[in-house]
Structure 1
Amino acid sequence: MTEIENSKDLISVLWSGADILRSKMDANEYKDYLLGIVFYKYLSDSFLIKVYDLLYDEKPSTLKDAVEAYKEALNDEESSEELKKQLAEECHYVMEPELTYTHFAEEARNNSFNREQLQKGFNNIEQSDPIFADLFADIDLYSNRLGTGDQKQSDTVASLIKEIDKADLLNSDAEILGNAYEYLIGQFASETGKKAGEFYTPQAVSKILTRIAISGQEDKIGLSVYDPCMGSGSLLLNAKKYADKPKYIKYYGQELNTSTYNLARMNMFLHGIAAENQKLRNGDTLDGDWPTGEETDFDMVLMNPPYSAKWSAAAGFLQDERFSDYGVLAPKSKADYAFLLHGLYHLKSSGTMAIVLPHGVLFRGAAEGKIREKLLRSGNIYAVIGLPANLFYNTSIPTCIIVLKKHRDGRDVLFIDASKKFNKGKKQNEMTDAHIDEVLALYSKRETVEGEAVLASFDEIEKNDFNLNIPRYVDNFEKEEEIDLDALLKDMEKTDDELKQVHGEFVSLLKELTSSDEAIMSSLNELIGRMER
């Protein structure tokens, strides 16, 4: 079976699990159940494969074989302690045989499934290592949403376990599973609409941001990437697709929403990211700076923050190192520049930052205008890329990507208008890989291309009062063809002649009509008279 077929099969099984829950709750709720239980299966299957490998130095034929081998090994008290110690070191958790997913699936098929045991399994994982703390907190196995009464609720969970057990993780590598998980997250984003903004950046936008930020750093060993508004972690994880040595990437991310933070942690593990290479935090990016005590600046900063969000803008932030150089703060009603400055503060001198924001940041005045001017005078703004409207699930407004550098020679800014590079979709517009390549080519070329890109000098930007509105620089107005008035008049005369001819023919046909009913004939003659006037 090919990797694509395997991936499609996996997606099909996982998505059919959603069907079990779809009639009971909305997508924003059932995504937590589905993705959480898929993740528990991943932890369980990975654990059993590791057990078998440690015992026999090979992969098991089936997970059931692995469970049996594990039970047998635990009977030997002396060697079992050594085995558990080794498993705890390598997996960061230890599962008892009766708490493995394989065991739960067997019980579900025999109608003897006990959800208290699954809850115990969740608790054991959460308590085994800080990286798993509260990971399954959003899964309420006793919720009325699952059905009325204990039996129906338990049956729903058992049905979900049986369905997801069809997913063959034993013969799927991390990339296939990770991609299937990403697909599910994308499908949930489509179903949840506005709420999707909390956890999902469309793949096309993620690709552009990542390819821009990683450009020139692809071969760096130990590449560090930071997303202070990471959502489900999809944007962070894009880095491994374009890095030459993905195994050594260090991921740093912060997320305010706890449910979404848990989703990001699961997503990291499902993509095979080692625990020591991921530092994720549940917290408010603007209210408290992070990271502070470890590595604090990064090769790549990627951001898709909530647009025009409210924040405190308290006077104390003027002393905060992230904002103190600018003399003013982003307004309370629009935190866009607060997010941008936070990201820039954590960027390495040699790194690149790419952030998605609404177009207002390019031209709004007052405090935002002052911050923008300071950034431009410092040469921090490297490029501005206008994206098509209606790309995101949670907003139809057009957005832009701002590319920033910490220190560089020159203060010119590349403007790219990519607003027309899309295919119209049913719900959202879509940028294809061809569109993305076109944008990247313009970015790499870094020169003026008529109707598409302009490399503007600092003097030109200063003359425009530091307004970065893209149409001021890139003229993509398509001139309409000139109309030949003589030809138009001839066409109109010809049409008039044709209408007169048809009119005459119609009147002649009416005159040929007869009826013995005097009233009908009277009405007919009146109509003919009117048409001949």
Structure 2
Amino acid sequence: MAKKASTKKEKPIEVTLWDAANKLRGSVEPAEYKHVVLSLIFLKFASDKFENQRAKLISEGKEKYLEMPAFYNQNNVFFLEEASRWNYLIKKSKQNDIALLIDTALHTIEKNNKALKGALPDNYFSRLGLDVTKLASLLDTINKIDTTKDPKQDLVGKVYEYFLSKFALAEGKGKGEFYTPKSIVNLIAEMIEPYKGIIYDPACGSGGMFVQSIKFIEAHHGNKKEVSIYGQEYTNTTYKLAKMNLAIRGISGNLGEKAANTFLDDQHKDLKADFIMANPPFNQKDWRAENELLDDPRWMGYDVPPKSNANYGWILNMVSKLSDNGVAGFILANGALSGSGEEYKIRKKLIENKLVEAILVLPQNMFYTTNISVTLWILNKNKKKQTRKIGDEIRNHRDRENEILFMDLRETGIPFEKKYIQFSDDDIKRITGTYHQWQVEEIENIPEFCYAASIEEVEKKDFSLVPSKYIEFINRDENIDFDEKMNNLKNEVSELLKEEAQSKKDLLNVFKELGYEIKL
């Protein structure tokens, strides 16, 4: 009797590798382990490309050039000395000094390739004190990846991206800030369409915005050589992740000379970007000292952002770096839509200067680090009538200077990893389709989804950018203005506390009149 064919679906290579690598983690925290695994994936990839180029030189009869870096670099391949090659490390993987050998390999690769300056961990494996048996098993696991088998599928890129997301999930709330969920990055790229020019991210994390920009260009048959990438990252280990992430995909970028604070040590002072994509830290407190950055040129005549919250510091940093036709898409906490004080004054001026193009409130539970609902802002330095060419498509934009598009996406998305939400491809098509249609022609306002408001309407709402103030809600119970509700609740609690204090005072007076004084 013939055996019944198995219908069990084979796991993708990235899932299989993650399961195997995670089992070998032992007592090492995810925050540390990600640098171990991702560095080894990079090392395997660099070595595979080196061996392919080496074989090509031999087939062309160029054996005398085998140890000359220039004959590798000219094809965007990193030159590796023997001690940095994967096969060398695999042969010695069971030795007690394997951690030191890996550190030496990474150091040597960085020293020999200028593009990798500051990208690779320095003496990391030796310091971490990994179990030799587990480290050897991890090397065997990663050895199963043939990173150059199908260049069109970008296998190593898929593995790297998958591992970044899984590590962000593992680190969870309060950590994992190095990673922006993929569907949000996809949405930003599809909305602002970074097809050609300079792309900038002032808080670039592990470089996901840049990777998706390149994917957007490739999907629309563009030329990635026609974009220049600039970024900055504050955390040194994350800065290294970003450089590795770009190097793995053959993307050249300028992330500054070092990891640095964007506000206090701007690595791209004179930059003017055509596209900005960012997910800066939410509600960052004490980002500047009381008398610091008061005359910073990035504020450009706007009020100085309050030191208690960096949200508007990030906004003005990005506005200052936009070219005359520049577009920015970035994520902020919802509080920035209606803040008071200096934030109100800055927001009012941004609206009056006709920079705000669209505001999209996103669902809760999209981020691994927080469960709050956040907002996608689109700022545009040129909302006037213009023509844009994206691939083979020519799009004639109408004058939108006196409009802002509001979208409520809180009920959009599909479940992901049990407790998270992500946008499906169809969700992204619907959202971006509505936005791009509005750029070309007037659209119908759709209850509980979108509303194109005039600047005059926004002025009448006292320059609030909260979408629920504009979008119609058919179900009255869902037409909730969060800020209004919270203010009402605050007033109610305040009244209750006043009443309680008065009742306490009256009760103490009664006892006092009876001759019994109570001291609290």
Tell me which residue corresponds to 1:436.
428
1:353–1:403 Cα contact (<8 Å) kept: yes
Q: Which amino acid aligns with 1:102?
A: N
Aligned equivalent of 1:8, options 4, 7, 12: 12
Deviation digits for residues 276-311 of structure 1, max 9, x if unmatched?
A: x55455211111333135xx1112100100001021
| Residue from 272, 276, 298 that aligns with 1:322 | 298
> How far apart, CA to CA, are the structure 1 residues paired with 2:120 and 2:318?
30
Supply the AA of the counterpart residue of 2:207. G
Q: Which of 149, 156, 170 lines up with 1:191 in the alignment?
A: 170
Superposed CA deviations along residues 382-439 of structure 1, whole A, max 9, x for unmatched, are 1111111111011111111111011334232111111111234422122222222221
The percent of aligned pairs where both chains have the same amino acid is 26
Aligned to 1:524: none
> Aligned-pair distance for 1:165?
0.6
Could you say which residue in structure 2 is the equivalent of 1:484?
none
**Comparing both structures, which one devotes a greater share of its residues to helix?**
1
Shift in Å, 1:93: 4.6
Counterpart position of 2:31: 28
Q: Tell me, in whole angstroms, the C-alpha distance in 2 between the residues paired with 1:186 and 1:33.
A: 15
Q: Residue type matched to 1:476 in 2?
A: F
1:393 equivalent to 2:368? Answer yes
State the match for 1:337 in structure 2: 312
- For residues 66-101 of structure 1, what are the alpha-carbon distances to aligned partners after superposition, in whole Å with 9 as ceiling and x for unaligned? xxxx9xx4xxxxx25873442355557532234311
Q: Is the 8 A contact 2:233 2:261 kept in 1?
A: yes
State which of 268, 289, 295 in structure 1 corresponds to 2:266: 289
The structure-2 alpha-carbon separation of the partners of 1:138 and 1:99, relative to structure 1 and needing over 3 Å to count, comes to closer
Selected match of 1:359 from 297, 310, 334: 334
Aligned partners of 2:84 and 2:109 also within 8 Å: no
Residue 194 of structure 1, CA deviation: 1.8
State how 1:375-386 maps to structure 2 within 5 Å. Answer: 375-386=350-361
- For 2:133, the aligned partner's letter is D
| CA drift at 1:139 | 5.9
Q: Is 1:421 the equivalent of 2:412?
A: yes
What displacement does 1:42 show?
1.2
**1:204 corresponds to 2:183:** yes
**Alignment of 1:411 onto 2:405:** no
Name the SS of the counterpart of 1:317 in structure 2: coil
Question: Secondary structure at 2:329's aligned position in 1?
Answer: strand
Compute the displacement of 1:38 (Å): 1.0
Tell me, yes or no, if the aligned pair for 1:298 and 1:351 is still in contact at 8 Å.
yes
Take 1:383 and 1:101, find their aligned partners in 2: how far apart are those partners?
49
Q: Distance in 2 between matches of 1:178 and 1:329?
A: 41
Query: Which whole-Å CA distance do the structure 1 matches of 2:200 and 2:290 have between them?
Result: 25
Relative to the length of structure 1, the TM-score reads 0.77
Seen in structure 2, the aligned counterparts of structure 1 residues 407 and 139 have a Cα distance that, compared at 3 Å, is: same
2:470 alignment partner, one of 468, 473, 476:
473
Bigger CA radius of gyration: 1
Structure 1: where are the runs of 5+ without partners?
A: 59-69, 74-78, 147-152, 481-533
1:423–1:133: structure 2 CA closer, same or farther, 3 Å change rule?
Answer: same
Question: What amino acid is aligned across from residue 430 of structure 1 in structure 2?
Answer: Q
How many angstroms apart in 1 are the aligned matches of 2:102 and 2:151? 25
Q: TM-score, normalised by structure 2?
A: 0.79
Shift of the 226–7 alpha-carbon distance from structure 1 to 2, 3 Å rule, reads farther
Work out the number of aligned pairs and report it.
Answer: 440
- What corresponds to 1:270 in structure 2? 248
Greater Cα offset, 416-425 or 365-374: 416-425
- Shift in Å, 1:122: 1.5
Shift of 1:7: 9.4
CA shift digits 1:356-387 (9 cap, x unpaired): 11111111110000000000000000111111
Structure 1 residue 136: Cα displacement: 2.9
SS at match of 1:44: helix
SS in structure 2 at match of 1:325: coil
Residues 15 and 184 in structure 1, CA contact (< 8 A), matched pair in contact too: no
State the distance in 2 between where 1:466 and 1:423 align: 32
From 197, 214, 221, the counterpart of 1:240: 214
